[in-house]
């Protein structure tokens, strides 16, 4: 299949104006394929040739202005349209299309809990072509209408309000018609159909709905008030910020199965992964994360849907803005006021890690950096999301929120229902401020890598002086917090100093030097932060005594970066964790610190001989947290501690006792998530067998249960289990995206390195072949989740680099492997340090 190049898109946009799609889908034709018939009205500005894209199972008919086209001329995914004359045209195409099992195009899922079937679309980038033909590029916007034939008991959801208009006479199948949309891009068209369980309301004169599969109905109902409350609060807050009103006729949120992303911003029909319908206990930070995704996707209704990028070099105009607005608006409009702490602990490290790999790219790449859709797909990463949002937070600190919002609203007014570029956005900002935003954009958005800021403190006569060394090229407006240790050990903030970096100015202060100085206190910029020697000693001894969780986040982030850069012994981090996490009150900090320690330090940065010691320090901290919360005072902290204790256990006795009793000692009782988590760890430790896993699946035959069982079977420490799992991963092409990922999660275990040693060199050629057969979604999963990350050794690194030279490797897998191999090299350096 040919990727669309930027040059081809520009030429087609000069030739065509696309007006209207009428898409007719028949979802009653079988389990493997569906029928798709589409009429596209467009105008040619001049005589010329072009093409329309489609990826059919079988192209049945095609006519242009009533004249037949030869289906045999379809070349890959391109049907040529030759000899166009100036003026209006209508293209009609009928095709048989294939359902997806990988979350691309029109994904079909049968729920093992009740046998009900659901389909939903994911049209992003070029996957609309798997559903219907399209002039598939973001700047050829058009009106979309869907007519859908679906089984009689199904409900159909689309971008516009969908109405059941009748029944098909021969079998009673439902006939559905959607309202026409405003002009939107092809990748934003959406349809979802099935026997949905729905909760609906009306807000601000518009219908709002939330939807999930029937087997999740009790869980959606339990959280419906919270989900709708967050949704309507964000909707109201955006209308206070933005002068352009919400531009669509309804707002549906569908929680769909086996979804690859967190969510997708289809206008009027946002789709979310249905893990956000919680069927087991979750922490409040996880509820906050769901709320943030809701806020993020709603921001896209303006950033991406109302005003859309002209080409995919400007995905930051979608994702960075939605990320920033999601976190900021959630803080302003809902009970979730600790969002920036969670951002600093979870999202920002994602950006820092991505920005230090060979695959890094500017937040806003240049046109030549994104030559086609295949390369564009690679940039949906921690840079476009977390780094971009951090840059916007710094822009607000530098520009002021009033001028920032004025620039945004100018941008909406100028480009609504159209397309825009970085230059357009910067011009809109410049119209509302005297500051040089063009230079700011070049400095912040066209460069790569994080800066590093290091304080230099010197004692002087009657006081102390501060200078800040910057390794990098960006200007930073930050705050520096100074802290003094009080008699009870609390680190009390003495001052909050405003700084512009770089500067030749030396800041002078009277009195003794602070016990702790924290650059970027408040986390307003994007830069790695170092601590001076005195502050580092204070932090290691007294981190939990810093009052503000966001300041603690900055300090923990500094320690994390020092470990990753080989400047702090990983065991110093673990000892600091053991000393301070039992006293930590902020859930996001606890989860972030424990997560880094468990998945990176214990699994990758620690030599195998020291791994049990590392896990012991982690479980020591979690035991202290369990003792602290046994009175029920903080169920969220307790749940986080229980999960990490399970994942870090090196002996099966306690976990086996919990499983037999159906409860953690002192609570909580085991819900499905905890039960499968314990079974997964016991499987790794060889303390359960396949029969026990199958018995658990019989008790929980849900989709989540099937994924849990797949992971457990792959985790068993036997040659037979590993061989069977490998066969399913790399040679059984029927695994859905979620079952593939679950199996991959189980296969590689540091405890089983000897058992799986021979599979490490096999991984590379077989992953390349798999990705070629099954496409980008499975290719990404194979690179991200099936990679032998536990094998931190030069031989694995050498084999991986040799694989990158394979001419058959698809771009998505290659990009993920570049990142994985860089992380592997970093782990080797950390171990060496």
pLDDT (tens digit per residue) in 812-825: 999 999 999 999 99
**Band (160; pLDDT cuts 50, 70, 90):** very high
For the chain, give the number of residues: 833
pLDDT of residue 355: 98
- In 3D space, the residue among 756, 770, 771, 737 whose CA is nearest the CA of residue 105 turns out to be 737
How is residue 231 written in tokens?
A: 């949704």
Mean pLDDT, residues 44-69? 98
Q: Sorting pLDDT into bands at 50, 70 and 90, what band is 683?
A: very high
Q: Which residue has the higher pLDDT, 728 or 503?
A: 728
pLDDT in tens, 751-810: 999 999 999 999 999 999 999 999 999 999 999 999 999 999 999 999 999 999 999 999
CB 23 within 8 A of CB 123: no
Q: What is the enclosing helix (H) or strand (E) of 747?
A: helix 737-747
pLDDT band at 414 (very low <50, low <70, confident <90, very high): very high
Asked if residue 204 has pLDDT above 90, the reply is: yes
Nearest Cα to 365, choosing from 300, 441, 270? Answer: 441
pLDDT tens per residue across span 205-239: 999 999 999 999 999 999 999 999 999 999 999 99
pLDDT level of residue 462 (50, 70, 90 thresholds)? confident
**Amino acid 832: pLDDT:** 93
d(CA 423, CA 369): 16
Conformational region of residue 632, where left means phi above 0, alpha means psi within -120 to 50, and beta covers everything else: left
Q: Nearest 5 degrees, angle CA 680-CA 682-CA 688? A: 105
Output the six-digit token pair for 290.
Answer: 């769901």
Q: What share of the chain is helix, strand, coil (3-state, %, to 5)?
A: 45, 25, 30
Cα(153)–Cα(156) distance, integer angstroms: 10
Name the residues annotated as catalytic: 297
Q: Is the pLDDT of residue 128 over 90?
A: yes
**Band of pLDDT at residue 723, cut at 50, 70 and 90:** very high
Tally of CA atoms within 13 A in the half-sphere of 206 that contains its CB: 18
Q: What is the DSSP string of 347-414?
A: IHHHHHHHHTSTT---SS--GGG--BHHHHGGG-STIIIIIHHHHHHHHHHHH-HHHHHHHHHHHHHH
Distance CA(183)–CA(113), nearest Å, equals 39
Is pLDDT of 409 > 70?
A: yes
Give the full edge-to-edge strand order of the sheet including 67-68: 67-68, 58-64, 87-98, 33-44, 16-26, 143-150, 174-178, 162-167
Residues facing residue 211 across a β-bridge:
198, 254
Assign 460 a pLDDT band (cuts: 50, 70, 90): confident
Under 8 Å CB-to-CB from 571, ≥6 apart: which residues?
610, 613, 614, 617
Distances (CA, A) of 5 to 12, 56, 311, 313: 11, 21, 10, 12
* % of the chain beyond a pLDDT of 70: 100
For 351, the token pair is 């950006």
pLDDT score, position 368: 86
Euclidean distance between CA atoms 720 and 724, whole angstroms: 6
How far the first Cα of the chain sits from its last, in Å, is 46
Cα angle 27, 29, 32 (rounded to 5 degrees) comes to 90
pLDDT of residue 507: 76
Overall average pLDDT of the 89-110 stretch:
98
Please give the C-alpha separations between residue 522 and each of 324, 348, 539, 688, 754, in angstroms, as whole numbers: 15, 13, 17, 47, 46
Q: What is the mean pLDDT of residues 363-387?
A: 92
DSSP state of 168: -
Range of lowest pLDDT (84-93, 159-168, 365-374, 687-696): 365-374
The rounded Cα 310 to chain-centroid distance in angstroms is 22
Residue pair 214/195 in contact (Cβ under 8 Å)? The answer is: yes
Q: For residue 461, is pLDDT > 80?
A: no
Is 228 in a helix, a strand, or coil?
Answer: helix
- pLDDT at position 506 over 80: no
Cα 744 to chain center, whole Å?
19
Separation of alpha carbons 40 and 91, rounded Å: 5
What pLDDT does residue 217 have? 98
Kindly tell me if the per-residue pLDDT of 1 is higher than 70: no
What is the rounded average pLDDT for all residues in the chain?
Answer: 97
pLDDT for residue 366: 87
In this prediction, residues 552-571 reach a mean pLDDT of 98
| pLDDT at residue 224, rounded to an integer | 98
Q: What are phi and psi of 540, to 5 degrees?
A: -65, -30
pLDDT tens digits for range 652-662: 999 999 999 99
pTM, rounded to two decimals: 0.97
Check if the beta carbon of residue 301 is closer than 8 Å to that of residue 317. no
Average pLDDT estimate for 683-710 = 98
């Amino acid at each position: 299949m040919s990727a669309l190049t930027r040059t081809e898109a520009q030429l087609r946009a000069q030739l065509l104006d696309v007006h209207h799609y009428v898409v007719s889908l028949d979802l009653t034709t079988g389990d493997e394929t569906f029928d798709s018939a589409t009429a596209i009205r467009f105008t040619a500005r001049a005589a010329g040739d072009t093409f329309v894209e489609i990826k059919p199972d079988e192209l049945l008919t095609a006519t242009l202005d009533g004249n037949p086209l030869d289906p045999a001329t379809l070349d890959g995914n391109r049907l040529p349209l030759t000899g166009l004359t100036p003026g209006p045209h209508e293209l009609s195409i009928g095709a048989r299309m294939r359902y997806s099992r990988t979350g691309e195009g029109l994904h079909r899922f049968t729920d093992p809990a009740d046998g009900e079937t659901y389909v939903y679309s994911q049209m992003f980038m070029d996957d609309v072509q798997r559903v219907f033909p399209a002039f598939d590029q973001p700047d050829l916007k058009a009106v979309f209408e869907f007519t859908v034939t679906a089984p009689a008991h199904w409900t159909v959801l689309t971008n516009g309000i969908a109405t059941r208009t009748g029944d098909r006479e021969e079998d009673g199948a439902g006939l559905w018609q959607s309202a026409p949309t405003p002009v939107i891009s092809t990748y934003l068209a959406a349809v979802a159909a099935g026997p949905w369980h729905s909760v609906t309301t009306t807000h601000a004169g518009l219908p709002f709905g939330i939807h999930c599969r029937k087997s999740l109905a009790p869980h959606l109902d339990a959280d419906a008030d919270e989900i709708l409350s967050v949704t309507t609060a964000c909707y109201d807050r955006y209308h206070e910020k933005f002068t352009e009103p919400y531009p669509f006729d309804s707002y549906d949120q569908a929680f769909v199965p086996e979804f690859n992303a967190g969510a997708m911003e289809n206008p009027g029909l946002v789709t979310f992964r249905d893990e956000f319908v919680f069927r087991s206990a979750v922490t409040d930070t996880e509820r906050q994360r769901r709320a943030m995704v809701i806020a993020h996707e709603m921001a896209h209704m303006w950033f991406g849907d109302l005003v859309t990028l002209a080409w995919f070099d400007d995905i930051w105009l979608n994702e960075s803005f939605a990320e920033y607005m999601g976190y900021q608006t959630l803080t302003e409009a809902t009970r979730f006021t600790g969002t920036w702490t969670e951002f600093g602990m979870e999202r920002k490290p994602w950006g820092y890690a991505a920005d230090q790999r060979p695959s890094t790219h500017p937040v806003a790449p240049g046109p030549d950096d994104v030559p086609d859709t295949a390369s564009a797909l690679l940039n949906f990463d921690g840079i476009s999301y977390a780094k971009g949002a951090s840059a916007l937070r710094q822009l607000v600190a530098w520009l002021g929120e009033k001028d920032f919002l004025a620039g945004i609203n100018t941008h909406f007014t100028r480009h609504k229902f159209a397309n825009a570029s970085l230059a357009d956005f910067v011009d809109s900002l410049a119209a509302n401020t005297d500051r040089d935003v063009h230079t700011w954009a070049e400095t912040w958005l066209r460069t790569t890598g994080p800066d590093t800021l290091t304080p230099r403190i010197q004692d002087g006569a009657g006081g102390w002086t501060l200078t800040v060394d910057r390794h990098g090229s960006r200007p930073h407006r930050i705050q520096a917090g100074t802290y003094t240790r009080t008699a009870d050990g609390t680190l009390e903030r003495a001052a909050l100093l405003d700084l512009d970096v770089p500067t030749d100015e030396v800041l002078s202060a009277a009195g003794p030097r602070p016990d702790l100085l924290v650059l970027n206190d408040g986390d307003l910029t994007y830069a790695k932060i170092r601590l001076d020697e005195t502050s580092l000693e204070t932090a290691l001894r007294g981190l939990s005594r810093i009052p503000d969780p966001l300041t603690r986040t900055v300090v923990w982030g500094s320690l994390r970066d020092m470990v990753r850069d080989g400047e702090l012994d990983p065991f110093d981090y673990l000892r600091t964790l053991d000393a301070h996490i039992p006293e930590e009150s902020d859930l996001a900090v606890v989860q972030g610190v424990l997560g880094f320690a468990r998945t990176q330090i214990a699994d990758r940065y620690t030599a195998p001989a020291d791994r049990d010691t590392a896990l012991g320090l982690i479980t020591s901290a979690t035991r202290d947290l369990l003792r602290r919360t046994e009175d029920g005072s903080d169920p969220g902290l307790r749940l986080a501690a229980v999960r990490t204790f399970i994942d870090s256990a090196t002996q099966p006795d306690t976990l086996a006792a919990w499983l037999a009793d159906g409860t953690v000692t002192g609570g909580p009782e085991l819900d499905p998530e905890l039960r499968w988590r314990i079974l997964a760890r016991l499987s790794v430790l060889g303390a359960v067998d396949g029969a026990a896993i199958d018995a658990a699946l019989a008790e929980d035959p849900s989709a989540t249960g099937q994924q849990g069982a797949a992971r457990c079977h792959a985790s068993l420490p036997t040659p037979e289990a590993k061989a069977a799992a490998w066969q399913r991963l790399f040679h059984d092409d029927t695994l859905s995206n979620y079952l593939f990922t679950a199996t991959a999660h189980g296969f590689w275990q540091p405890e089983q390195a000897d058992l799986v040693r021979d599979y490490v060199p096999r991984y590379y050629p077989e992953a390349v072949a798999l990705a070629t057969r099954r496409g980008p979604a499975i290719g990404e999963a194979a690179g991200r989740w099936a990679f032998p990350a536990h094998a931190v050794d030069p031989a694995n690194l050498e084999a991986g680099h040799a694989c990158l030279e394979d001419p058959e490797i698809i771009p998505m897998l290659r990009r993920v492997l570049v990142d994985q191999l860089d992380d592997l090299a970093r782990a080797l350096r950390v171990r060496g340090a």
